[in-house]
């Protein structure tokens, strides 16, 4: 090979080595393109918003006390512990006079970043549960694509509206009292209302955290299951039942504090590529 050709070849190699990360396929495209789970032992890798999952199980579309919604998204997959939790909670809803529960997004078949929507739900341990008061669990696939969820909030989330009932309170409470649950996210007004209405031991409310947007559904997050050495738990909630913190959220909604004079510019979130995720995620993608 001539000197000039060697230089050209070396330059080409350097260009490949120095190619920007955004030239790689995005992780959400790789994981979003998988329609089936990996044939591996159930395992979560990484964190809730930066990871993947092996051996996930599909939540059956319909059961005696539940239905999975928006089936076209193919996001009704979870770690076996999540599937067991969801089924158990749906039976608790029956005790409150509902026919069961409607389940929204869990995870993609192999977890990972989603093509649209959530930043979390990546390791098979997150579930969105509709706050819709279920009267029947025989909806068709078409109905499950088009039925509208029902909002529970009033005044931008500072209060619950008339759709909120004691049954909602008891279902969230049943979820929080499951020892596998790490956190529950729901809009601030609901947390404050539950703090007011709960007359017994309020320690379970520590897991219920106020968060924006969660007024059509509540979001349950399980702790890393035993044996999931590659799974990264979120830091535990602060001590106490969190009721005063939720009230501060509500106060700020009703009387917003003045904006900072020189707010820092928000940095755009970078889309993950496979190299950003735990190394085990490459094997999850390659598995049959």
Could you report the per-residue pLDDT of 38-93, keeping only the tens digit for each?
A: 999 999 999 999 999 999 999 999 999 999 999 999 999 999 999 999 999 999 99
Specify the residue for token string 């999850």. Answer: 284
What 3-state DSSP class applies to 95? helix
Confidence band of 267 (pLDDT split at 50, 70, 90): confident
**Residues recorded for the chain:** 288
Is it the case that residue 10 has pLDDT exceeding 80? no
User: Residue 61: phi, psi to the nearest 5?
Assistant: -60, -35
Asked if 70 contacts 104 with a C-beta cutoff of 8 angstroms, the reply is: yes
How many Å is the Cα radius of gyration of the chain? 22
Q: What is the pLDDT of residue 150?
A: 97
Is it the case that residue 20 has pLDDT exceeding 80? no
**Where do the H-state alpha helices sit in the chain?**
3-17, 27-32, 80-95, 141-146, 166-176, 188-197, 243-254, 280-286
Asked if 124 contacts 107 with a C-beta cutoff of 8 angstroms, the reply is: yes
Regarding predicted confidence, which is higher, 213 or 20?
213
DSSP letters spanning 143-191? HHHHPPP---EETTTTEE-TT--HHHHHHHHHHHTSTTEEEEEE-HHHH
Confidence band of 227 (pLDDT split at 50, 70, 90): confident
Mean pLDDT computed over every residue of the chain: 92
- Model pLDDT for residues 129-166, shown as the tens digit of each residue: 999 999 999 999 999 999 999 999 999 999 999 999 99
Is it the case that residue 241 has pLDDT exceeding 60? yes
Beta pairing class for 66-68 and 62-63: antiparallel
Token digits for 125?
Answer: 């341990």
Q: What is the pLDDT of residue 228?
A: 87
Is it the case that residue 284 has pLDDT exceeding 90? yes
Is it the case that residue 108 has pLDDT exceeding 60? yes
- Model pLDDT for residues 193-207, shown as the tens digit of each residue: 999 999 989 999 999
What 3-state DSSP class applies to 273? strand
Is it the case that residue 31 has pLDDT exceeding 90? yes
Is it the case that residue 210 has pLDDT exceeding 50? yes
What 3-state DSSP class applies to 103? strand
User: Residue 50: phi, psi to the nearest 5?
Assistant: -160, 80
Specify the residue for token string 């939540």. Answer: 59
Asked if 137 contacts 100 with a C-beta cutoff of 8 angstroms, the reply is: yes
Dihedral, CA of residue 242, residue 245, residue 246 and residue 250, to nearest 10: 170
């Amino acid at each position: 090979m001539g000197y000039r050709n060697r230089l050209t070849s070396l330059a080409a190699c350097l260009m490949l080595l120095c190619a920007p990360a955004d030239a790689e396929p995005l992780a959400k495209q790789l994981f979003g393109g998988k329609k089936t789970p990996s044939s591996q032992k159930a395992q979560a890798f990484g964190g809730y918003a930066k990871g993947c999952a092996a051996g996930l199980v599909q939540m059956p579309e319909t059961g005696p006390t539940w239905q999975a919604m928006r089936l076209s998204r193919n996001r009704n997959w979870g770690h076996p512990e999540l599937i067991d939790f969801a089924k158990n909670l749906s039976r608790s809803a029956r005790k409150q006079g509902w026919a069961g529960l409607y389940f929204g997004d869990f995870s993609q078949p192999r977890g990972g970043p989603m093509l649209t929507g959530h930043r979390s739900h990546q390791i098979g341990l997150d579930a969105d549960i509709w706050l819709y008061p279920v009267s029947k669990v025989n909806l068709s696939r078409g109905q499950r694509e088009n039925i509208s969820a029902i909002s529970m909030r009033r005044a931008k989330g500072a209060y619950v509206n008339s759709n909120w009932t004691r049954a909602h309170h008891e279902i969230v409470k049943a979820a929080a009292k499951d020892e596998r649950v790490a956190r529950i996210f729901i809009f601030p007004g609901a947390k404050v209302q539950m703090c007011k209405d709960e007359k017994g031991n309020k320690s379970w409310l520590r897991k219920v955290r106020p968060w924006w947007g969660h007024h059509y559904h509540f979001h349950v997050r399980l702790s890393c299951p035993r044996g999931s050495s590659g799974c990264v738990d979120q830091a535990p909630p602060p001590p106490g039942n969190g009721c005063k913190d939720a009230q501060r959220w509500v106060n700020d909604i009703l009387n917003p504090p003045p904006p900072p004079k020189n707010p820092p510019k928000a940095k755009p979130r970078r889309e993950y590529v496979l190299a950003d995720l735990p190394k085990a995620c490459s094997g999850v993608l390659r598995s049959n």
